[in-house]
């Protein structure tokens, strides 16, 4: 089981680490934008691009190839991956109605990841702690998935704030 930290450098950039080793970063083009870039430790770059009416769906792309997409659903954020032509579905949802934790469940509803949000009043942004299961740790493209999930949580929090 892994324990990752995602720290906000400013309101537009997050650094993901495990045991003080940089895994990658998530960078937004502008404040409160759904368009972002993921840069992994090996310097590979991916784009997160909103699609559809009201940016209802976000796609993760490498060049022109879509590797993952997610959208808000009634139960949470529905994530569909397509790494190496192997499609899998996940659901990211709040652990409880008034919780500050998100969980990722697979198609069999096994909890494979927990994201704990920590709002920093002095910086007016969030830091995150992510705990992964053994199942998640063996997943292909797990670093890319972690940074995308971080974007999903930010997306969820932005939508909720906009609705209230």
The CATH number that applies at residue 80 is 2.40.160.200
Name which of 97, 95, 118 is nearest 105 in CA terms: 95
Q: Domain limits at 8?
A: 3-163
Distance CA 57, CA 41 (A): 26
* pLDDT tens-digit series, residues 84-104: 888 999 999 998 777 789 999
Q: Residue 163's pLDDT is what?
A: 57
- Cβ-contact 132, 4 below 8 angstroms: yes
Residue with tokens 């970063």: 25
* pLDDT tens-digit series, residues 17-43: 999 999 999 999 876 678 999 999 999
Q: Residue 158's pLDDT is what?
A: 77
DSSP the chain: --EEEEEEEETTEEEEEETTEEEEEEEESSTT-S-EEEEETT--EEEEEEESGGG-EEEEEETTEEEEEEEE-SSSEEEEEEETTEEEEEEEEESSTT-SEEEEEETT--EEEEEEEEEETTTTEEEEEEEE-HHHHTSTTHHHHHHHHHHHHHHHHHHHHHH-
Burial (CB < 10 A; 0-12, 13-18, 19+), residue 95, is middle
Tokens of 109: 């509803």
Distance CA 11, CA 67 (A): 26
Tokens of 146: 């972690």
Q: Which residue positions in the chain have pLDDT lower than 50?
A: none
Distance CA 58, CA 47 (A): 10
Distance CA 164, CA 151 (A): 20
Q: How many domains does the chain have?
A: 1
């Amino acid at each position: 089981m892994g324990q990752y930290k995602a720290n906000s450098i400013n309101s537009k950039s997050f650094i993901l680490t495990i045991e003080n080793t940089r895994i990658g970063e998530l960078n937004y083009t502008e404040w409160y934008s759904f368009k972002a870039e993921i840069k992994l430790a090996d310097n590979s770059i991916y784009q997160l691009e909103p699609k559809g009416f009201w940016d209802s769906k976000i796609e993760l792309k490498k060049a022109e190839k879509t590797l993952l997409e997610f959208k808000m659903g009634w139960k949470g954020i529905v994530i569909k991956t397509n790494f190496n032509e192997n499609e899998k579905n996940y659901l990211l949802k709040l652990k409880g109605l008034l919780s500050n934790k998100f969980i990722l469940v697979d198609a069999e509803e096994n909890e494979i990841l927990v994201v704990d949000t920590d709002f920093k009043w002095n910086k007016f942004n969030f830091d995150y702690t992510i705990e992964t299961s053994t199942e998640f740790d063996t997943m292909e493209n797990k670093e890319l998935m972690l940074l995308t999930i971080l974007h999903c949580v930010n997306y969820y929090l932005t939508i909720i704030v906009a609705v209230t």
